[in-house]
Structure 1
Amino acid sequence: MPVQSILLRFSYFEHDWIEEDIDGPEAAEAILLRVASEGDWFEVDAAAPDEFATLDALAERAEQVVAGEWRMPVAAVRMPLDRLRSIIADGGWTFAGGGFAEFVGNNQDTSMLVRLVRDVPDQRSSS
């Protein structure tokens, strides 16, 4: 049976925050939570991530960084991951790998990248 694969990314788009009025941790927290609640997973063309073999391992690392190191609410990670779990369940997908990248100055925003796969029924007739 053929297999379909997609790569999805969720980004916190910190570089877009430059237009926001951030005057302290509370303001940053509010923006982070807004992005987490309103942001979408979007399809990308990238190398397949292999840093994490399970969705739980990806979630654990993202929570370590966002909640542990940054001291921001764990909801900032859980909201987008809950949406990803819905995408997986609704589409019949299986998590096949994931990656987590932290904000790096002018180079990258904090993001999660996942590869999802699902079986595609053979469309050929059996007659």
Structure 2
Amino acid sequence: MPLLRRVIGAVLRKVRLGQGRTLRQVAAEAGVSLPYLSEVERGTKEASSEVLAAICRALRLTMPDLLDEVRREMLLAAQPAGRSQFRTALAVQRGQGPRVSISRTMVCARTVATVRL
């Protein structure tokens, strides 16, 4: 399992490069030093939530979008090659009172099946 700070840094770098922006541009807009942003992207520094929020704003990326992408990367890294993995999703539905549904999704190389519990 990779370290969280490394995955966060890799995602931030991927977004920045995808936008065709330099470290210098993003660091200036986020209000952090260029060396510090570089260390965050390389996963050698653990950024505070305030710094991550500033970097996200500079990249025009929402924090939930960053965390969603980090989650996807962590799941991919945790999944052994050629083996199935179960993911559990919890959804709360509003309406006539709270209803909770839990579903388990089995992810295989070629098949996705959802089982309602």
Q: TM-score, normalised by structure 2?
A: 0.27
Which has the larger Rg? 2
Query: Which has the larger share of helix?
Result: 2
Q: TM-score, normalised by structure 1?
A: 0.25
